[in-house]
Amino acid sequence: MCTEATEEGQLCVSQACRACDLTCSMGQANADCDACMCQDFMLHGVISLPGGAPASGATVYLLTKTPKMLTRTDSDGRFQVPGLCPDGKSLLKVTKVKFAPIVLTMPKTSLKTATVNAEFNRAETPYIVMNPASKARRSGQSVSLCCKATGKPSPDKYFWYHNDTLLDPSLYKHESKLVLRDLQQDQAGEYFCKAQSDAGAAKSQVAQLTVIGFV
């Protein structure tokens, strides 16, 4: 559902940086304060392709604020990662070109080793399921333009364009919905979105925004 923008502004309040407050149920926080480490634990993994063939050369990441590459699978689709904690919380991401990424949850165990098994699914290029609609507004009003795409994996990035020019994401803070406030006549024109995932990108149909000036 594409809800319309309201006229209220948004208040941005800066926050002071805080000391590391990561609580580890086992092990100790690492230097970056984004993962718990258990030096005596070893994780083994077996990754396969659809049909069961080994997925060699797949990349294994630890999902933190900035994903960290840990290792790659060998010719048998196997990998080993030492030092992570088997807390049942930490997440790993396994990627390989042409396949949808696999997200694995660390097993929860009191043992010194554990094995995870997973199979890739073929990636599906994103495709648009909701196109932005053409709209008309008066100068000074707000407008919402919505776009939605699906695929394998699901698109995780959306980009918006105005008259074929990319809008700065840091300025407009948009995702699948673009909100424009206090419209001016130079914001009239054509808008479309581009949805992107690890499997590719898809472009929406063009929506026309008409901005009516005061008489």
CATH class assigned to 124-212? mainly beta
CATH 2.60.40.10 in the chain is located at 124-212
Q: For the chain, where are the E strands, in sequence order? A: 28-29, 36-48, 59-62, 68-72, 78-84, 91-95, 99-100, 102-105, 113-119, 121-122, 124-130, 135-138, 143-146, 148-152, 157-162, 165-166, 177-180, 189-197, 200-203, 207-212
pLDDT in tens, the chain (215 residues): 676 655 444 433 444 445 788 888 899 999 888 899 999 999 999 999 999 999 999 999 999 988 999 999 999 999 999 999 999 999 999 999 889 999 999 999 999 999 999 999 999 999 999 999 999 999 999 999 999 999 988 998 999 999 999 999 888 878 899 999 999 999 999 999 999 998 899 999 999 999 998 65
Q: What b/e string do you get for 117-136 counting C-beta neighbours within 10 Å, with b at 16 or more?
A: ebbbeebeebebeebbeeee
Does the domain at 28-122 match CATH 2.60.40.1120? Answer given as yes
At 21, list the tokens: 């407050």
- Bridge partners of 68, per DSSP, are 62
User: Residue 22: what pLDDT?
Assistant: 85
User: Residue 2: what pLDDT?
Assistant: 73
Instruction: Give the span between the Cα atoms of 215 and 199, in whole angstroms.
Output: 49
User: Residue 13: what pLDDT?
Assistant: 43
User: Residue 5: what pLDDT?
Assistant: 58
CATH 2.60.40.1120 in the chain is located at 28-122
User: Residue 6: what pLDDT?
Assistant: 54
